[in-house]
Amino acid sequence: MRTALVAGARPNFVKIAPLLTALRALPGIEPLVVHTGQHYDESMSGSFFRDLEMTPPDVNLEVGSASHAVQTARIMERFDAFLDDARVDLVTVVGDVNSTVACALTAAKRHIPAAHVEAGLRSFDRRMPEEINRIVTDALSSYLFTPSRDADENLVREGRPRESIHFVGNVMVDSLLRFRGRARARSRALEALSLAPRSFALLTLHRPENVDDPEVLGRILAAVGEIQKDVRVVYPVHPRARRMMEAAGLASRAAAMRGLVMTEPMGYLEFVGLESEALFVLTDSGGVQEETTILGVPCLTVRENTERPVTVREGTNRIVGTDVAAVVGAAREIMSGGATREPRAPELWDGKAAERIAAVLAGAVGSTNAIRPADGEGVRRA
């Protein structure tokens, strides 16, 4: 069985790295890494392959940046052309970015089954582009690999067949557990920024609902402006957020904050090393919510919801929204020694999720039913 293993953005690379290793270890499965080029420059893509010890992708579609519609269309067009000659039996997609839904939809149109890793997550907020991507991808996928029990429940409610749902744990945690020791040893960020462990907060922002709306972005920066008076805030600035700050006239306000340290985007090891030493993290990233849960670092999510509720129930995450007083109050509570609790690793977040996924696919290869499209009709072979 040949599977196209699709990645397009930074979180995708973290998720496919352990899966690639697990699939390559099994006879009868040939993974091909397809990089869509959704994140394409050195800081957003190239360094991650080196940090995660991945070989270069087999294919790079080089779609680049564009609007959601244009980017999704470009990925579909170029992935469809790749499938003309690739003789692929299964398309494996991860996460919830445009690359995920575009390649799942292209596969469905060709009657090639898809496997979705990180299936079933829901914020129940369809204003989020990622929520639409999740729903559509899950509706089209024959194999639904979930990271948490609530994801299973979401899929069952939506009418997905129980036999297609496989609770396997979290592949992002596989990478984190493998590399966190190396990240702490190799990260030079603390020294470069003259920081002591637990003496700073870490900020990440990239979601459109936060950075594309000048009013919301302004509120978040106002909260950061108060927090940085009490503790240094390190902010690796996502290119999208930087553009939006400049367009909204907020870049000068951020630059004037003496306690806010803005840097270029960091590689995986550099970021995890910094994240593991932070006093707390302010973020709108789902992946960071998961990582802080395993690292035991308090996390304040500047959103109104999360598709990863297990990080709130069992981890270190707290949803604080974007109200200035709420964000500042939650941060000061942590700085005063309150609002922290001992995290508990969610079920099956044990570093073996990729092995479980590979075992399911290996079983499918050996089965007479093998790899079938979502509607159960037809089998495609290389």
Is 220 exposed, middle or buried (CB count within 10 Å of its CB: 0-12, 13-18, 19+)? Answer: buried
Q: Cα separation of 271 and 322, whole Å?
A: 24
| Residue from 39, 116, 206, 238 carrying the catalytic annotation | 206
User: Vertex 4, ends 119 and 122: CA angle to 5°?
Assistant: 15
What does each C-alpha distance from 372 to 145, 152, 215, 245, 349 come to in angstroms? 16, 21, 47, 47, 28
Which pLDDT score, from 0 to 100, does residue 147 have? 98
Domains of the chain, CATH where assigned: 2-169+348-366 (3.40.50.2000), 185-335 (3.40.50.2000)
Is residue 206 part of the annotated active site? The answer reads: yes
For 297, phi then psi, to 5°, come to -100, 130
Calculate the CA 135 to chain-centre distance: 16
Which pLDDT score, from 0 to 100, does residue 181 have? 93
Tokens representing 171 are 């592949």
Among candidate residues 371, 369, 356, the one with its CA nearest the CA of residue 4:
371
Mean pLDDT per 10-residue interval, the chain, length 382 residues: 93 95 94 86 66 92 88 96 95 96 98 98 95 98 98 98 98 97 84 93 94 95 98 93 94 96 93 96 97 96 97 96 98 87 88 98 70 46 32
User: Vertex 190, ends 184 and 193: CA angle to 5°?
Assistant: 155
Output the pTM of the full model. Answer: 0.93
Q: Which amino acid is at 198?
A: R
